[in-house]
Amino acid sequence: AQTVTQSQPEMSVQEAETVTLSCTYDTSESDYYLFWYKQPPSRQMILVIRQEAYKQQNATENRFSVNFQKAAKSFSLKISDSQLGDAAMYFCAYRSAKRGANSKLTFGKGITLSVRP
Amino acid sequence: DTGVSQNPRHKITKRGQNVTFRCDPISEHNRLYWYRQTLGQGPEFLTYFQNEAQLEKSRLLSDRFSAERPKGSFSTLEIQRTEQGDSAMYLCASSHRGFQETQYFGPGTRLLVL
């Protein structure tokens, strides 16, 4: 079974600064997808960024980028130029790309990010 | 595209009562998922549908839980004889099966069992 570990329960960053959120995972599969989701307080979860395991290039979406280290099974999220609206819980998630597999997401416990003005 | 909607948003019930939640996925999405999220934890998979077929159920889904997706559109999740341990946020997500499949989440239904 796949597991996702987010070992930092909380982090804080100064507005306009850069912060990196860590995530490690465990799987015996070679083909999969990794995601970062954002869950603002009392609001629904939204997708921040996704990474296909077969791609060596790290995904980027505007101020958000990932550092995907497949051999180390590490998938960190970097938020540049942090904004007050970035304050939320961030979840790392894994999905198998195996043909016929259940496409459910396996989530980590999440990390609460606060942004200081 | 109005997004995934869930009703009710909040539900308070007494132990032993039955509750039913509804999820309306994004139109044209053929996959629908239910997850449960407790305080301080990430969502945990409960079950999923492809069209009207329920393809997998987690061991978390005891016999008191049942889900349906008639006609492959909206879905309902029913909990019978609720227990205090059922208190959680119940999240629904939908996706379109395919290479770039991405799950889009609804706002959730927060259940409190007294």
Q: Which of B95, B105, B110 to mutate to test the interface with A (most CBs of A within 10 A)?
A: B105
Q: Is B91 on the interface with A (CB under 8 A)?
A: yes
**Chain-chain contact of B33 with A107 (C-beta, under 8 angstroms):** no
pLDDT tens digits, A55-113:
889 999 999 999 999 999 999 999 999 999 999 999 999 999 887 777 899 999 999 99
pLDDT beneath 50: ranges in chain B: none
Which DSSP symbol is given to A105?
-
Other CB atoms within 10 A of residue A90 CB: 22
Reference B35, options B101, B95, B84, B82; nearest CA is B95
pLDDT tens digits, B21-31:
999 999 889 99
pLDDT tens digits, A11-52:
999 999 999 999 999 999 989 999 999 999 878 899 999 999
> Which pLDDT does position A105 carry in this prediction?
94
Q: List all residues of chain A from 47 to 76 with a beta carbon under 8 Å from chain B.
A: 47, 50
pLDDT tens digits, B78-94:
999 999 999 999 999 99
- d(Cα B92, Cα A20) in Å, to the nearest integer? 28
- d(Cα B66, Cα A81) in Å, to the nearest integer? 45
Whose structure tokens read 């119940």?
Answer: B90
Q: Is B49 on the interface with A (CB under 8 A)?
A: no
Beta-carbon-side half-sphere exposure of residue A98 (alpha carbons within 13 Å): 11
The C-alpha angle B86, B110, A42, rounded to 5 degrees, equals: 140
